[in-house]
Structure 1
């Protein structure tokens, strides 16, 4: 997919178009380049191929692009946090290295009309929350599941699902897609791979089977592969990444919730509601770059108090040396840095139920008890299960049964154009009492405990679907209650630094004005200077009795503010504005429902028409969500 820019000199493009192409591909990541290659190849299919002697020698051809459907492998991915994208890119790279014609497309870039003509399709998709598709795959999932989906008697396919067994509906989207494709008449090559957080344990053997089938199916069908004319120099692999994080030094750790906050550290919780931190980390010397909308991945250590609690309840010695997969470490270090302690998994619960001989826990693991299991997974940490269902564990057994930790992703709350080689975060430090004991968040506790000179292992997780508009004259509406406001701090900074002429409208919500108005002085300053044009607020615990509150519970939320200003919201959307939502999944669904009402009411549409309107906004990249 890459080679030298001088190779463009041999292309049939005019000089000014070569310059435009060089500018277009400069700095694009692999996912964007794969999408661009497939898009260009799709356009090329409508034209006759250049003939020898036509004067078009050296024309760039992308593997899999101009190949007929029966001669290529198509890989489509849907990804929320980047894991499915990375898995799909790995598969595409291996397929291309094997000499196969392959194209890789993000789900929202896949031309749905082409599904009927596909002959070999691999889908790599994650499941978000309790059985939802990732945002970039909503349209494709709805299309395949809907009445307009074509019959697929000639399609051969396989599905790789990525999920988290701490959710009851594990890999639900992948399983439903796998079943639906079969219902449409497609032939399943082999059972769907369902990967937990230890992705490669399932993905690696699945990938080998997928490549084997692709080689066999395409061997006789494939025409001789075209020579690839490189488009730009091969980008050097970043020095720091998801697998090799950078140790970023703490520059600032400042509480930005109310000054009278008396809140928790891990193991000592007060009576205040929130402890929200503004964290500034140095990226100097890392070579890491980000855009507003991207996330910072953090590889945290579990709090010492939590590690001690697990050791105490199991009566294990933290100094016991444990060897697992070529690593030998003290048990305490395994629990502090190499194992997940705050998020449970179904496999661990099954093993523990056997260890504890706990029939009631076994019952919860049956398919009929998904609701009760979901409640357990949402309310219990590892130590709670160990206390509730006592069982004997050896150090070796415990390390083998627990999952590796999952990096936590935090929306970046800054623009590099303003802050330079820094990344800012907005972190809600989780702390609460449950089952008679103090509980805390692992990653948020880790970050909040950082002091001057401390470091945190970090990497950049790009989010290409959550970007300020390329057209700086476009207006934007941003809905970010609580710490969901983080990326919009970066958006406003970016738009100010680049001289964007479009208006910025922010909806912010929290519980209390006095304690929870995050970045209050910054927003007020932005309003005075014209960096922010409108600001609407919703403080739910301050609003009881207000005539503008939700009649169902006496509280006001951002979705009520949207409805109050529905006419203006609709007018902005009609005038090509972009709409962004960041925050909790439940909030995102409430905001979506409010948008449907606004579009139906002010656009004179029925429910189906309003849904189609929002789907069109999503397909145009004008309605973007970052929900978790």
Structure 2
């Protein structure tokens, strides 16, 4: 039996909340829906769901800055945990936060991610600039705690969280709990921080702990499949998109979500749990002089070393924390000197993997347990979803470029991309979950024009966007910029784009194939060529989306946008114009 949500002409929900409620209801059985209805009725009866007005400041503000949605999800989790303890919290996104409100806060909990080379999330930039400006107020009345999310594979690990923590203290705020910096396997660290912070706040606010109701299932248990409990999705299709002769290998994969209850929207991300390649494991074991059958302790249980390296540990990418742990075992003067010189360490890490580290700095009498204790958990790989659920019910599609390269005398390959490209047969299952990205979404008004810029596999979310716009009968214009190396071999989804152009769903498309002429042409060059039209679309209210490499492409696209605005307005306020686009959520980026 399918349960649907009746259309309501008047609703207190905002658009995001209404969409979420529709997705939740669609995934429920009649019994589950009845239980949730009673659960919410009980909450209302006990005055636990009162919505604070603009004049009703919560005791605790959870201030969240997120690029891909992980910080948002943790903020929601903390909000629920706080409510269970009788603590009143409100979540505020940094992009929507009114800066003068900062000096009125009492208890401020900051959850913020860092991406790229120490960059704050796009929606946090204005707040970061304000905090570090002369206008920043004294915050002596504020108590705070900071949770940072990042990736230790980058040099400036959790830099935005560090910056918030130090600056709030410098402005006079009182730290109620030490900052925690979380790596890609952030769940345990984040939950420990939440528990400790909420305990401290409960004592300071004199809130007595409330007994949990263990007799009823929780909403989390109704929606069982998640990052912690991934769904075993069956592989339906694995198609190579590049033509013969291309130096690239881009795969289009289609996975079944039937029976999972999982839903997604265009702009969301698919998390995939890969395993390490057997040949990579064998080479590492041989270098370490291990057999793979040694017993080690993993999560409180004994297991074979090989099995742990296969599915649990990151065994390729070197992170600084990993090097620091290994150096304590190596007791090697050269390695210690390398760790002490940031620039030399960066040079060494570039293009090398863990096998190079253990080869260059061997440890005598290294035990398997000591070695794995240096490693971090194998993180999931995230891929932009390339399909609309309305067009492909019970399916999810992704676009994946197989990563292979040669460096420092060894052949290398991407863990997740080659797992999907080489080692998954049709009808095999892949452990997946949906990562909702609230910061990369189509306009609520389907008549709004959109501009999409996505070279290479950055095209993936825009396939989903266009499929969705077609499915809902959107009247807004759609303009797509795409780039790759060669027209004949690398025009990803070419026949689909041609069909969309023919039937009018795609208003216009401009393509740049960098290697088809002597002078390389990229998407940012096309933007400059059509700058007048692009600016006119923005003046009409168009939303601009960028997906792809953050270091080069997204940076170059951003600079091209600034130049276009400056040229068309004839003023030096291009940065303000673009910043306002971002603040209005009309300029969104899915970058990595």
- Report the TM-score when normalising by structure 1: 0.83
Alpha-carbon distance between aligned partners in 2 of 1:581 and 1:192, rounded to the nearest angstrom: 32
Shift of 1:70: 7.8
Structure 1 residues 23, 539: closer, same or farther in 2, change over 3 A?
A: closer
Secondary structure class of the residue paired with 1:438: strand
* 1:458 pairs with 2:432: yes
Gaps of 5+ in 2: 25-43, 211-217
- Does the 8 A contact of 2:122 with 2:582 survive in 1? no
What is the aligned partner in structure 1 of residue 557 from structure 2?
591
* 1:569 pairs with 2:534: yes
**Residue of structure 1 aligned with 2:566, choices 585, 593, 600:** 600
Residue by residue over 1:488-534, the C-alpha shift from the partner in whole angstroms, topping out at 9 and shown as x without a partner, is 01111111111111111111111222222211222122211212111
Secondary structure class of the residue paired with 1:206: helix
**Residue of structure 2 aligned with 1:302, choices 276, 281, 301:** 276
Alpha-carbon distance between aligned partners in 2 of 1:193 and 1:69, rounded to the nearest angstrom: 30
Alpha-carbon distance between aligned partners in 2 of 1:127 and 1:29, rounded to the nearest angstrom: 30
Secondary structure class of the residue paired with 1:348: helix
- Does the 8 A contact of 2:58 with 2:90 survive in 1? no
* 1:381 pairs with 2:319: no
- Does the 8 A contact of 1:509 with 1:558 survive in 2? yes
What is the aligned partner in structure 1 of residue 394 from structure 2?
421
What is the aligned partner in structure 1 of residue 443 from structure 2?
469
Aligned pairs for 1:182-221 within 5 A? 182-219=169-206
Secondary structure class of the residue paired with 1:288: coil
Aligned pairs for 1:114-513 within 5 A? 114-219=101-206, 237-261=222-246, 273-366=247-340, 369-392=341-364, 393-449=366-422, 450-513=424-487
Structure 1 residues 375, 529: closer, same or farther in 2, change over 3 A?
A: farther
Structure 1 residues 114, 20: closer, same or farther in 2, change over 3 A?
A: closer
What is the aligned partner in structure 2 of residue 42 from structure 1?
none
Structure 1 residues 399, 58: closer, same or farther in 2, change over 3 A?
A: closer
Shift of 1:16: 7.0
What is the aligned partner in structure 1 of residue 34 from structure 2?
none
Secondary structure class of the residue paired with 1:148: coil
Residue by residue over 1:40-73, the C-alpha shift from the partner in whole angstroms, topping out at 9 and shown as x without a partner, is xxxxxxxxxxxxxxxxx98977468359788601
Structure 1 residues 325, 544: closer, same or farther in 2, change over 3 A?
A: same
Secondary structure class of the residue paired with 2:245: coil
- Report the TM-score when normalising by structure 2: 0.88
After superposition, the CA RMSD in angstroms is: 2.8
- Does the 8 A contact of 2:15 with 2:444 survive in 1? no
Alpha-carbon distance between aligned partners in 1 of 2:120 and 2:367, rounded to the nearest angstrom: 38
- Does the 8 A contact of 1:76 with 1:121 survive in 2? yes
Alpha-carbon distance between aligned partners in 1 of 2:230 and 2:112, rounded to the nearest angstrom: 24
**Residue of structure 2 aligned with 1:73, choices 55, 60, 64:** 60
Secondary structure class of the residue paired with 1:99: coil
**For structure 1, which segment, 72-81 or 187-196, has the greater mean C-alpha deviation from structure 2 after superposition?**
187-196
Structure 1 residues 201, 469: closer, same or farther in 2, change over 3 A?
A: closer
Residue by residue over 1:526-552, the C-alpha shift from the partner in whole angstroms, topping out at 9 and shown as x without a partner, is 21121211111122222324xxxxxxx
Structure 1 residues 251, 198: closer, same or farther in 2, change over 3 A?
A: closer
Shift of 1:298: 0.1
Shift of 1:24: 7.5
What is the aligned partner in structure 2 of residue 619 from structure 1?
583
Shift of 1:565: 0.8
Aligned pairs for 1:54-73 within 5 A? 62=49, 65=52, 72-73=59-60
Shift of 1:452: 1.4
- Does the 8 A contact of 1:171 with 1:194 survive in 2? yes
What is the aligned partner in structure 1 of residue 20 from structure 2?
28
**Residue of structure 2 aligned with 1:610, choices 569, 574, 578:** 574
Residue by residue over 1:365-389, the C-alpha shift from the partner in whole angstroms, topping out at 9 and shown as x without a partner, is 33xx334433444422211222222
Shift of 1:236: 5.8
Alpha-carbon distance between aligned partners in 2 of 1:565 and 1:66, rounded to the nearest angstrom: 45
Residue by residue over 1:337-363, the C-alpha shift from the partner in whole angstroms, topping out at 9 and shown as x without a partner, is 000122222221012223333333323
Shift of 1:80: 2.7
Residue by residue over 1:578-627, the C-alpha shift from the partner in whole angstroms, topping out at 9 and shown as x without a partner, is 00000011211111111111111102221xx2111111111211111000
What is the aligned partner in structure 2 of residue 540 from structure 1?
514
Shift of 1:164: 1.8
Alpha-carbon distance between aligned partners in 1 of 2:568 and 2:46, rounded to the nearest angstrom: 50
Residue by residue over 1:80-137, the C-alpha shift from the partner in whole angstroms, topping out at 9 and shown as x without a partner, is 3433233323322222211111112222232322111111101011111210112332
**For structure 1, which segment, 94-103 or 487-496, has the greater mean C-alpha deviation from structure 2 after superposition?**
94-103
Residue by residue over 1:388-416, the C-alpha shift from the partner in whole angstroms, topping out at 9 and shown as x without a partner, is 22224321112222111111110011111
What is the aligned partner in structure 1 of residue 30 from structure 2?
none
